[in-house]
Amino acid sequence: MRKKIGLGTKKELDAQLNLTPFIDLLSTMVCFLLITAVWIEIGTVEVKQSHGSAAKTQKSESFDLDIIFKNDKEVRVDLKKGSKRVRRLIVKDENFESMMVKLNTEIKNNILVFKKKAIEIATATVTPKSTVDYGSLIMTLDVLRKNKIVNIGVLTAKGN
């Protein structure tokens, strides 16, 4: 109802707003943000390209390192000079974590020290089998990075 006051009419202040679409939109946005919050934390692994134009060229004598997974509890480590293998190690243990500890020790003591001299690894390649999971591959890359080996490549094993 409108009441006459003075020269004009006064409207009622009770406005009816439909808040249901706003609440639906707000709840959808909250769900979307909660689900996508998982991807905000981005992890990185800093490694250089082992082969190609971005690889650092070295004029001094260089060694290459090949790490080949036999299974998830055994790896073969080959130290190469050019294309000739100069040292081969087999590292195995009952579980993957203890094998990684042994691999770290072997790299420090038997790979980075060759003929009683400290050497530098120009490139390293890791060849995992299809049974090796992604986390295990990343742990292997971490072992190489801890030993200051940065030119790392990952190869796929044929027939796996």
- Domains of the chain with bracketed CATH: 3-39 (no CATH), 48-154 (3.30.420.40)
Give the per-residue pLDDT at 28.
94
Give the per-residue pLDDT at 82.
82
Write out pLDDT tens, residues 17-75.
888 999 999 999 999 988 887 766 555 566 666 565 554 554 446 788 899 888 878 89
- Does this model's pTM top 0.85? My answer is no
Within 8 A by CB and 6+ apart from 63, the residues are: 79, 80, 81, 86, 114, 119, 120, 121, 122
Residue 81: pLDDT above 50?
yes
